[in-house]
Structure 1
């Protein structure tokens, strides 16, 4: 091929002529490609030049946001979180004692957990003062469950706090979803409760709580005439939790729901 590139060389045969033409075409195509790339690079450079101030503003803005976020987490949120945990210790004691108590004693302990005692904040004050911390998030869960157990006029407060709690795919998230369902039933919003029970069963699937929540979903669905959802929940108990205590009740309800649907 080097021979073809010599100045003044003339191909002697038809085959050589075709090879030379092919090489020249290839070189021409390559040149066009590099020319196109050069044009694209030039356009990019021109665009950067025209918009360099905007680009610098964006980069500077992102840097400022990162610095502010870092400073907030290091110097504000960090100490705030530690303070919240320390402040919440007494409320936790009241809350845990309430879980194991009964009757009026339980109500009193839940109230102390919510309102505070011994010079320490209660759960509601922790939520207000330490918003954004994990302690405040947990306080929403505990406050919601406390209001749910106190009952009476407290069900909407239970719904509000349990809805505010963000637990991810955790045991407490599952319990909080079921708690919202329980509270909705108490305020005569049974149809809305069904989806919360179903979510509770799916958030942390296990042989103990999932069949309980599915049975609650089925009962709530049947109470509102939603037979298809009731059957779905009952069939899940039958197929996935056949050994659960709720399985026998679910079997009876499933038969009734299927029979009434025909």
Structure 2
């Protein structure tokens, strides 16, 4: 026998051993009828848990090796020895190898960013875009920097529409007194290149209005003045 819960919730409360035994019996019948399915689901869940734990352990073991490799190659990157940084030297792995061989590690992720920057400097814009797009960061300022660099690559490829898209992502990612005016200026230049003078004027005006103390304001006023005649302002 059972009764409705006193709080009116409609839930049933088992009152007697006989009623409880009835519930258990139903569960046993269900298990017997669906034994293969139930055991299969249980095994799949267990396998997924074991696989995930194994993957995490593998990534943890790889992280140290990858970080050591990355620390060695950063010196070449900072010295502007881009080819050495990308391909490695003296038996050390380069950024491209680290990014590819240690996927899933923080070091691989960071290597993709550095590789993207190096490739951009070398004028290898498609490769730069691929590496920068594979980079991710929870730090919004760093994320915005990566989006801006992808915009730079598209700008250099004479694809202003794509550049505009990524510059907008950089601008919208995290407002910052130092970086955002720079991204806005890049956005305005891309809009000019895309023959969108009215949009460019609005973007230059944002620099002037939202970041009056920025060093970019002087150029923003100059370029906006030149464009206003074209758009009839």
TM-score (norm 2): 0.79
Deviation of residue 134 (structure 1)?
Answer: 1.1
Partners of 1:220 and 1:46 lie apart in 2 by 69
Give the match for residue 104 of structure 2.
132
Matched, 1:69 2:39: no
Report the CA distance between 1:255 and its aligned residue.
4.8
| Structure 1 match to 2:4 | none
Task: Describe the superposition over 1:235-261 as per-residue Cα deviations: whole angstroms up to 9, x where unpaired.
Answer: 332332121111232234445545533
CA 52–111 in structure 1, closer or farther in 2 if over 3 Å, else same = same
- Closer, same or farther in 2 for the Cα pair 1:54/1:210, shift >3 Å? same
Q: 1:212 to 1:45 in 2, by over 3 A?
A: same
The count of residues paired between Structure 1 and Structure 2 equals 214
Q: Alignment RMSD, CA only? A: 2.9
C-alpha deviations, 1:65-95, integer Å up to 9, x for none? 1121012212x11111111111222211111
5+ unaligned residues in a row in structure 1: which ranges? 1-32, 99-108
- Is the helix fraction higher in 1 or 2? 1
Equivalent residue for 1:196, pick from 160, 166, 181: 166
Distance of 1:47 and 1:253 partners within structure 2? 80
Partner of residue 90, structure 2 = 118
- 2:188 maps to 218
Contact in 2 for aligned 1:169/1:204 (Cα 8 Å): no
**How far, CA to CA, are the matches of 2:130 and 2:29 in structure 1?**
51
Q: Secondary structure at the match of 1:131?
A: coil
Q: Using a 3 Å threshold, how does the CA distance of structure 1 residues 52 and 252 change in structure 2: closer, same or farther?
A: farther
Contact 1:169/1:203 (<8 A) preserved:
no
Q: Secondary structure at the match of 1:126?
A: helix
Q: 1:5-38 CA distances to partner (integer Å, 9 max, x unpaired)?
A: xxxxxxxxxxxxxxxxxxxxxxxxxxxx799xx9
CA distance in 2 between counterparts of 1:204 and 1:34 reads 49
- What's 1:166 paired with? 136
Deviation at residue 54 of structure 1 after TM alignment: 3.0
Deviates more, 1:49-58 or 1:187-196: 49-58
Residue 103 of structure 2 aligns to a residue whose secondary structure is: coil
- Equivalent residue for 1:79? 61
Task: Name the SS for the 2:79 alignment partner.
Answer: helix
| TM-score using structure 1 length | 0.71
- Distance in 2 separating the partners of 1:47 and 1:240: 70
